Amino acid sequence: MQRPKRELECGELLHGHPCPPLALGLRAGHAALGALETPRAVERELFAMVEVGGDHYGQGFADGVQVATGCTFGKDLIVRVPHGKLGLTLVDQRRRRAVRVAVRGEVDEALESSEWFRVCEARGQPWAPVPDEVLEPLLGFVRATAEDRLFSVSPVFPMELEDGTPSFRTVPCDACGDRVLLPYVRERGEARLCLRCAERRALPPR
Ligand SMILES: [Zn+2]
Ligand SMILES: [Zn+2]
């Protein structure tokens, strides 16, 4: 059982602190990988959609999904579909199929009736520092509970998302000098401009 511990540490590094939503995101990622029978993304094999909104207490869920699945912000392999839920849809781009994993209501209820949640809610901060003796039992609960009791997992269904071709060439902007990836260059007369400089040039003179 080394993997979960190491992953939680990686998650902590990424997310900034350990918390139950982070632990749930890790397990949700693995549940989705398991249902799709695929390993985590080394390159662009997968794509993740998480349903937490920007104002959801469970932000850690999205970071857990990134660590478990390899669908990272840096690889542009994760988006929010903000529905205010602890839910994940993971797409296997090669086999053109996907699965949705959602935290069960009873698990949400267990979290939300915990001392951890009470402290966070009272302070208005899901990252409020709580003592280990408050946090540990909840992390233990997420680690130890069987997958099918934590999540409802949909049947695998057909799905494929567009995936752009990467560009490798940059040129300098004629106005500011920044090097810009070619698809982001705009031609204005003779000049090749970055988006910011092209926008400025389009503004009417004050
Ligand atoms: Zn957190
Ligand atoms: Zn520029």
Ligand at minimal distance from the CA of 200 is 2
Q: Residue 19's pLDDT is what?
A: 93
Q: Tell me how far the alpha carbon of residue 62 lies from the centroid of ligand 1, in angstroms.
A: 10
Quick check: helix, strand or coil at residue 201? Answer: helix
Q: Tell me how far the alpha carbon of residue 165 lies from the centroid of ligand 2, in angstroms.
A: 24
Residue type, 182: L
pLDDT band at 126 (very low <50, low <70, confident <90, very high): confident
Q: What is the pLDDT of residues 163-203, one digit of tens each?
A: 888 899 999 999 999 999 999 999 999 999 999 999 988 77
Crossing angle of the two packed helices 105-112 and 115-123, in degrees rounded to 10: 70
Residue type, 99: V
Write down all domains in the chain, each with its CATH number in brackets. 2-158 (3.30.1330.130), 170-202 (no CATH)
Question: Looking up tokens 């409802």, which residue turns up?
Answer: 152
Q: What is the pLDDT of residues 130-140, one digit of tens each?
A: 889 999 999 99
- Average pLDDT estimate for 16-41: 96
Ligand at minimal distance from the CA of 191 is 2
Q: Tell me how far the alpha carbon of residue 178 lies from the centroid of ligand 2, in angstroms.
A: 6
- Angle 135-117-52 from CA coordinates, rounded to 5°: 105
If you ran DSSP here, which 8-state letter would residue 192 be given?
E
